[in-house]
Structure 1
């Protein structure tokens, strides 16, 4: 799509596999290689390592890792998507860098490679000429960022608009939404408080009020939240309100002040601060990005 919109020079994509053999994905689809890894030579513009079910076998294969290391030296920039970071790590290309990967694999990558700083929160991280992205859809964010770097924001915006996707989520946006990131808390009391928070965002959700409603002390409630959710009640409430505000900004034309009031923020400035902390951009820019990503016929 970038080529259609006038990328100059145009991108040439080549799928490379070990020995040029086809790759059968976990979905059952088979990808036909265009070239054998062993025969590729540089210089290359961008080297991207894809993740997947076979990433651990690939990272343990000295031949694959050796060729990746060789090609990285001949590439202007290097990137990975999802668990492709495992291969870059095995090649020593992430040493001393701050990186990300799929949230479900982050702790494994960190434990196996203590020389790497793994941050599971962002959707992609650029450190020097190496960029690591989180899982699946973050590949869109990664490539849009590359297109903008190469051809400017106007062309990247057109690509995003035609793909009906975000332009573009900032790299430090959280990978996961609190509403989808996992099963409900195992503790009954914490689950009740969480349900209360998500259902009453405009109410008094201070730690004191939540503790009183739950019939426990503030200290005990905070201890339970840290144990089961890894964050204090205050941080959980702030994130819940910010994510609800993001939904309203993307799906309604309510003024920012009205969104702030509906989601329990005292002022638009309070919403802005919480939004920047979570998404890396202010609410107004987030709304503009959502509108830019939609074809004109979809906009209200």
Structure 2
């Protein structure tokens, strides 16, 4: 049984719950898959704009996992200064770990991406600060790429917001195989969008 933990915290962007949804639909293709939300304390977590989700596990109760997904959203600045969150991620340094969107900022704050390549949210609304500039200012030791996904082997970073689905599918491909990811993409009617994203943004495989 493959187990995937999805790290959520106050201020995660609700669209990133599509990560859980992608894995939920994936169970129609691979039955030996289990996914759950994990937060610092477990229980209710208030996402951006008021959506409340219930984390299945706290950091202390989280069982062994095969992959860890770090969500992004406007709550990320608090998490980059949260020693408990950084320690939880660091404790899984030998586990397949993927970030989506501004979750890469939290990933980078652990130091695990220093001297490596990563990506983060590339698009932003009028009046917002360019996330790439924020990232470069905070984490100058990390080289940024505008690829949709950067794969370092055990460490994966995905681009902004809806690319959380592409990142989840990429994690499935790494845990199982590309055929499985393709089947899931078809089941969720995302095969055309995924192919377009791969053409336009691509996957950059870089040295760990």
Same fold per TM (> 0.5)? yes
The equivalent residue for 2:175 is 150
The equivalent residue for 1:129 is 154
- State the distance in 2 between where 1:140 and 1:40 align: 23
**Structure with bigger RCO (C-alpha 8 Å, 6+ apart):** 2
What CA deviation, in whole Å up to 9, does each residue of 1:146-182 have, x standing for no partner? Answer: 223333333322211121113634876546xxxxxxx
SS in structure 2 of the partner of residue 19 of structure 1: coil
1:79 aligns with 2:104: no
The equivalent residue for 1:115 is 141
1:140 aligns with 2:140: no
1:3 to 19, 24, 27: 27
SS in structure 1 of the partner of residue 151 of structure 2: strand
The equivalent residue for 1:26 is 48
The equivalent residue for 1:105 is 131
1:161 to 169, 186, 192: 186
Q: Offset of 1:139 from its aligned partner?
A: 1.2
- State the distance in 1 between where 2:197 and 2:157 align: 10
- State the distance in 1 between where 2:52 and 2:155 align: 28
More helix by share: 1
Aligned length: 171
- State the distance in 2 between where 1:24 and 1:88 align: 21
RMSD: 2.2
Q: TM-score, normalised by structure 2?
A: 0.74
What CA deviation, in whole Å up to 9, does each residue of 1:56-96 have, x standing for no partner? Answer: 101111122112211334x2x11001111111111111111
Q: Offset of 1:105 from its aligned partner?
A: 1.1
The equivalent residue for 1:35 is 57
Task: Tell me: CA distance 1:53–1:154, structure 2 relative to 1, closer, same or farther (3 Å).
Answer: same
Structure 1 unaligned blocks of 5 or more: 176-278, 281-300
1:57 to 78, 93, 104: 78
Contact 1:82/1:102 (8 A) holds in 2: yes
What CA deviation, in whole Å up to 9, does each residue of 1:254-295 have, x standing for no partner? Answer: xxxxxxxxxxxxxxxxxxxxxxxxx68xxxxxxxxxxxxxxx
1:93 to 103, 112, 117: 112
SS in structure 2 of the partner of residue 38 of structure 1: coil
What CA deviation, in whole Å up to 9, does each residue of 1:31-63 have, x standing for no partner? Answer: 101010133253x21011001111010111112
SS in structure 2 of the partner of residue 71 of structure 1: coil
SS in structure 2 of the partner of residue 135 of structure 1: coil
Task: Tell me: CA distance 1:39–1:151, structure 2 relative to 1, closer, same or farther (3 Å).
Answer: closer
Tell which structure's C-alpha radius of gyration is larger. Answer: 1
- State the distance in 2 between where 1:65 and 1:154 align: 33
Contact 2:80/2:109 (8 A) holds in 1: yes
Q: TM-score, normalised by structure 1?
A: 0.52
